């Protein structure tokens, strides 16, 4: 799939079976709409105080990589995923699906689109990390073809509630 910036024609993803009709690369002006979507999707992370992200953090991430934005047939932004190209490896993160649209295949569809984006740009492996306090995530990513390849220290920007312990689970997938 060829994902282009919105200045070009928007394209429907090949994996549109989940109900995505368009995926495009985010522009800086999109952060105002992206932040609430991402924060709503990550509201389940009650072990951290405050919002998951803000417009400034998203803008900073966009200097290193891109966000792919998924829209439904009515033109509503329903999902996003961050992609950072790192030579022949790529990093995916911050996969977010509107809570009202979760468990309908949007997340899996966005993963496929992101992988296609990386593959088309020469990536041969995709890496991602999940928090150990989110035990429901590794099985989701395993269904997408990812396998645990390591663990890393988690350095939260703010303390975890109740003194919880947490680490990052590194997962990878060859493309």
Structural domain boundaries, residue 63: 16-127
Half-sphere exposure of residue 87: CA atoms within 13 angstroms, side-chain side: 0
Q: Is residue 154 part of a domain?
A: no
Residue 49 lies in a domain: yes
Single pTM value for the model? 0.87
How far is Cα 151 from Cα 129, in angstroms, rounded to an integer?
9
Residue 106 sits in a domain of what CATH number? Answer: 3.40.630.30
| Calpha distance 77→97 (Å, rounded) | 9
Q: Do the domain assignments include residue 10?
A: no
Residue 104, pLDDT above cutoff 90: no
User: Which pair of structure tokens corresponds to residue 99?
Assistant: 């809570």
Domain count, the chain: 1
Q: Is there a domain that residue 169 lies in?
A: no
The share of the chain scoring above pLDDT 70, in percent, equals 88
**Residue 151 falls inside a structural domain:** no
Residue 42 lies in a domain: yes
Of residues 46 and 73, the one with the higher pLDDT is: 73
């Amino acid at each position: 799939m060829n994902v282009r910036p919105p200045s070009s024609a928007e394209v429907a993803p090949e994996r549109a079976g989940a109900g995505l009709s368009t995926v495009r690369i985010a522009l800086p002006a999109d952060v105002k709409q992206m932040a609430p979507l991402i924060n709503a999707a990550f509201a389940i992370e009650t072990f951290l105080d405050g919002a998951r992200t803000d417009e400034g953090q998203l803008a900073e991430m966009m200097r290193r990589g891109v966000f792919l934005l998924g829209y439904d047939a009515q033109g509503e932004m329903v999902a996003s995923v961050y992609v950072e190209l790192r030579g022949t490896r790529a990093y995916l993160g911050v996969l977010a699906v509107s809570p009202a649209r979760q468990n309908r295949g949007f997340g899996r569809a966005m993963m496929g689109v992101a992988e296609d984006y990386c593959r088309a740009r020469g990536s041969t492996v995709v890496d991602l990390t999940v928090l150990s306090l989110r035990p429901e995530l590794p099985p989701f990513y395993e269904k997408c073809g990812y396998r645990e390849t390591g663990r890393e220290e988690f350095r939260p920007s703010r303390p975890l509630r109740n003194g919880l312990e947490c680490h990052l689970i590194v997962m990878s997938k060859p493309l």
